């Protein structure tokens, strides 16, 4: 059990650092979506089912949609 949680936390850190490094903005947004999804799994391990549902539906789906529509109306690549 603790090994699974440690592996998930490591993947979350790698995804957050990838959001720092990528120059293509859409790839950075997808990395932030991965961070949100793994946070939803960690909320389940903390015995909080309501918060896990809210984070998975709002944080992972709707925030990514709003970001991609905003990037489409401005530039795609960071200089």
Partner 1 sequence: MRKFIGIILLFIIGWGIVVSLKEIPFGEQKSKVGKYYIEKGKEETGASNIVTSVVVNYRSFDTLGEVTVLFLAAIGLGAVLATFQRKEKIKVEPSSLILYTGCRFLFPLILLFGSYIFIHGHLTPGGGFQGGAVIASAFVLVYLGCRGKRINETGSKIAESLGGLTFVILGLVGLAVGGQYFLLNFLPKGEFNTLFSAGIIPIIYIAIGFKVGAELSGIIDQLMEES
Partner 2 sequence: MINFLQNNIFYISAFGLILIGLFIMLSKRNLIKVIIGLSILETGVNLFIVTLGFLSKGTAPIFSKSGLDMQKMVDPVPQALVLTAIVIGLAVLALALSLAIRLYNHFGTLNLQKIKEQKW
* Residue 57 DSSP label: I
Q: What does 65 interact with, of partner 1, partner 2, none (CB < 5 to 8 A by kind)?
A: partner 1
Residue with tokens 């995804």: 15
The alpha carbon of 37 is separated from its chain's Cα centroid by a whole number of angstroms, namely 6
Q: Which residues are CB-contacts of 24 (< 8 A; sequence separation ≥ 6)?
A: 76, 77, 78
Residue 21 binding target from partner 1, partner 2, none, CB below 5 to 8 Å by type: none
Contacting residues toward partner 2, per CB under 8 A = 2, 5-6, 9, 12-13, 16-17, 19-20, 25, 28-29, 32, 35-36, 39, 42-43, 46-51, 54-55, 58-59, 62-63, 66-67, 70-71, 73-75, 78-79
């Amino acid at each position: 059990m603790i090994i699974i949680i440690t592996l998930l936390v490591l993947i979350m850190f790698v995804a957050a650092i990838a959001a720092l490094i990528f120059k293509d903005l859409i790839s950075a947004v997808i990395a932030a979506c991965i961070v949100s999804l793994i946070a939803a799994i960690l909320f389940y391990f903390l015995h909080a089912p309501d918060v896990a549902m809210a984070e998975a539906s709002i944080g992972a789906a709707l925030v990514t949609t709003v970001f991609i529509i905003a990037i489409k109306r401005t530039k795609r690549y960071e200089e």
